[in-house]
Chain A
């Protein structure tokens, strides 16, 4: 409790402050008359990765901005280390396109007042981990999209932050670079940082320690991927296409998946063990139809969702 109070007041944590947990608790953000975040909780534990997953306009960026302190919530708590112990990579940019790779790292090091020796050692490590050692003199703007994301992430890691906040690191990045980026992000967690990353790819969320599924400013599900899987209420089945089976259903390849909140599947469906993608769709369906939502006690999906998007 005293720990939490200290963090809330923004008291700088000594660098040995591992064990402290950061994150958002019951955060509400309104923009104009619209609700951008509606009581969202995002845990961030040292040494592990939390992924906030959702589509465009779900509220992911707002979440991360509140966590970094760029945006003040209307209510709720944001626990974060002092500013100089945070690394933040926004969804766009995060690097200087008219500076070289080396200059980008130098500039960042000076901004964080890293000493010469510290900087050289860290910069070499970052260049090695990002695979950018061969292009040190290339301008940021001349790097491929995947390399730019790796450099921006490397810059945010230069000062060994206690909390790394990274907005859609892999959107539009090809699969090989995506794997490399996640290796870099997981490496930061292995070094002890608390990491919060957002993504639109459900399969990336399935590998995180903790997942928060966000839609229209609400957390539809949260917990470990296993807990989200176990949280699927009722039964999930598969039925052959093309005729749509009765009940809430969605396509999976040429077949249908069908969800029965009360566990009674239609005759043409055979039960399957839901996978993480199924669990995510079920959570979204449950939230969209509150009458059948046994998994969620939240009120009906908020009507101002459309307005929230427009403001973005």
Chain B
């Protein structure tokens, strides 16, 4: 099993605030790993360290066999929530511009987005825009894909099509890291890592996580219940809320 991206004991502080604390995470070829956590759990800081955009204060990061480098980043496909497309350009123009910018050969538009080639990206639905962003990133045949909430706001059929693309990429050998707080996306992943308060609060399959939370015993074998239980417990343990600074039951303003 080839590990494509790995964090070992990764820690990152901003002043007195520890955003990520001794986190272990690995993404191997052909697997889809879900990184779950509320706002402020440390997901983005961890991703930035994995991509070499931010140096850890402690621990080690490996990306595609070495320390994160510009050369390694070129082999990574990253689709942010904002997609990184030009709304005022057509799908074909976005395609041509991005493939040229990355120095790739001229390639025909992928079949899935070809019907919209002359449409302005800004005029497409969100689901269609996400498919275009995905096609553009996949055209570079990245070895590692990093996707931020890939199906957020997309209807059921659109989501199903996006997950087909993601799984196709994994079946062809790419490693995929999906950051999300959407538990429907979480259920599509092979393995999950739940972050709360900058730490890994639980990891494993959805079933492992439900078992770890102990909520199934209460008659709720539900990933959402489990997630909330784990995050709430971690917030209590670290004195740092994983989500809102103030919520019911926590007066840690």
Contacts and interface: CB of A to CB of B under 8 A. Distances in A.
B154 A131 contact: no
B127 interface: yes
Interface stretch (B14-22, B155-163, B210-218): B155-163
Contact of A57 (B32, B38, B125, B227): B125
Contacts of B181: 174-175
A202 B155 CA distance: 9
Interface string A242-254: 1000000011111
Given A56-B125, A146-B244, A280-B156, A251 B164 contact: yes
Contacts of A201: 182, 184
A250 B165 CA distance: 11
Interface string B236-253: 000000111111110101
B173 to A, nearest CB: 11
A215 B155 contact: yes
A277 interface: yes
A277 B247 contact: no
Nearest to A131: B248
A31 to B, nearest CB: 15
B188 interface: yes
Contact of A176 (B123, B158, B242): B242
Interface in B136-186: 152-160, 163-164, 166-168, 171, 181-184
Interface in B109-133: 123-127
A134 B243 CA distance: 16
B188 A253 contact: yes
B85 interface: no
Contacts of B182: 201
A310 to B, nearest CB: 5
Contacts of B39: 144-146, 174
A6 interface: no
Contacts of A171: 152-153
Interface stretch (A7-15, A17-25, A33-41, A281-289): A281-289
Given A56-B125, A146-B39, A176 B243 contact: yes
B244 A284 contact: no
B243 A177 contact: yes
A310 B157 CA distance: 19
Query: Which range holds the interface residue count of chain A?
Result: 35 or more
Interface in A97-112: none
A251 B167 contact: yes
B243 A174 contact: yes
Contacts of A93: none
A288 B248 contact: no
Contacts of B183: 175, 203
Interface in A174-189: 174-177, 179-180
Interface in A253-312: 253-254, 277, 280-281, 283-285, 288, 306, 309-310
Interface of A: 54-58, 131-132, 134-135, 144-147, 171-172, 174-177, 179-180, 200-203, 213, 215, 241-242, 250-254, 277, 280-281, 283-285, 288, 306, 309-310
26 contacts: A54-B155, A55-B127, A55-B153, A55-B154, A55-B159, A56-B125, A56-B154, A58-B155, A135-B246, A135-B253, A174-B37, A174-B243, A175-B181, A175-B183, A175-B227, A175-B231, A176-B38, A176-B242, A177-B247, A200-B152, A203-B183, A215-B157, A251-B164, A253-B188, A253-B189, A284-B156
The 6 tightest CB contacts between A and B, nearest first, are A55-B155, A174-B38, A131-B248, A250-B160, A242-B171, A56-B126
